[in-house]
């Protein structure tokens, strides 16, 4: 008589139990990876908006504005659709929306987004100010991560953009730390 081929019920139950244990261990790690990637994506969206505002100002030789959540200067204020929107001033004094605000991601908080006005030379200043923009431009954070839970975006000399990953529950430092990751 030929021996039957296949799995016994006990072998099948052991395989299902091992798969369940491996899944239970892996899921928290995947969650951390997903949230970390969302933080990086959101920071990259704001960096892209800053770069686009600068390039459009140079291309048009007209002022552009990276909008803040509130308090945007006229004539840009009516065209700003939220923090991160890029608006250009046309030759007739009207505004032209170049880029709508970056998408919002679940489990992320965006704060301290500065309105920045770029000149035709591509240099950023705070609206109404004369000094070149420097310091913290925006911060993106997640309360669901215990470490490396904050992305800080900085600007130096009105055009150099850099990011820093910070751990903590407080806000990003106003000036870029020397020990940025």
C-alpha atoms less than 13 angstroms from C-alpha of 180 in its C-beta half-sphere: 15
* DSSP SS3 for 102: coil
pLDDT tens-place string over residues 13-39: 999 999 999 888 878 778 888 888 889
- pTM recorded for the entire structure: 0.80
Q: How far is CA 36 from the centre of its chain?
A: 11
> DSSP assignment, residue 132?
B
Residues paired with residue 88 on neighbouring β-strands, in sequence order: 64, 96
Phi-psi region of 56 (alpha: psi -120 to 50; beta: other; left: phi over 0): alpha
pLDDT tens-digit readout, 37-53: 889 998 999 999 999 99
Tokens matching residue 137? 């431009």
Reported as a pLDDT band with limits 50, 70 and 90, residue 77 is confident
Note the pLDDT tens digit of each residue in 92-146.
Answer: 777 888 888 777 777 788 888 888 999 999 999 988 889 999 999 999 988 888 8
């Amino acid at each position: 008589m030929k021996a039957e081929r296949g799995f016994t019920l006990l072998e099948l139950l052991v395989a299902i139990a091992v798969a369940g244990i491996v899944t239970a261990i892996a899921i928290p790690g995947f969650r951390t990876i997903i949230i970390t990637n969302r933080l990086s994506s959101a920071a990259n969206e704001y960096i892209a908006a800053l770069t686009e505002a600068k390039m459009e100002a140079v291309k048009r030789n007209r002022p552009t504005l990276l909008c803040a959540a509130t308090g945007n200067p006229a004539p840009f204020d009516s065209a700003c659709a939220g923090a991160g929107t890029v608006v250009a001033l046309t030759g007739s004094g009207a505004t032209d929306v170049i880029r709508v605000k970056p998408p919002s991601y679940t489990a992320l908080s965006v704060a301290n987004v500065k309105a920045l006005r770029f000149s035709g030379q591509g240099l950023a200043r705070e609206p109404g100010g004369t000094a070149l923009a420097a310091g913290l431009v925006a911060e993106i954070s997640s309360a669901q991560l215990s470490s490396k839970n904050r992305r800080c975006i900085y600007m130096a000399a009105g055009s150099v953009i850099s990011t820093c990953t910070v751990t903590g529950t407080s806000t990003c430092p106003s000036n870029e730390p020397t020990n940025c990751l």
